[in-house]
């Protein structure tokens, strides 16, 4: 239960990356994907 917030944050980061992939904005895609990776690394 204590990892619920980080998991939600990771999902939201990946969703943001997916939106920017659809729009073709690769800089923001990489940013949000890196944010998800960083959150995953720190959490787990």
Mind listing the pLDDT tens digit for each residue in 2-37? 899 999 999 999 999 999 999 999 999 999 999 999
Write out the DSSP string of the chain: -TTHHHHHHHHHHHHHHHHHHHHT-HHHHHHHHHHHHHHHHHH-
| Residue position matching structure tokens 């990776």 | 37
Cα-flanking dihedrals φ and ψ of residue 28, to 5°? -70, -30
Q: What is the pLDDT of residue 44?
A: 92
With contact defined as beta carbons under 8 Å apart, do 35 and 9 qualify?
Answer: no
pTM: 0.91
């Amino acid at each position: 239960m204590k990892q619920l917030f980080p998991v939600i944050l990771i999902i939201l980061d990946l969703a943001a990356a997916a939106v920017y992939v659809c729009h073709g904005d690769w800089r923001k895609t990489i940013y949000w994907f890196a944010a998800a990776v960083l959150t995953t690394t720190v959490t787990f």
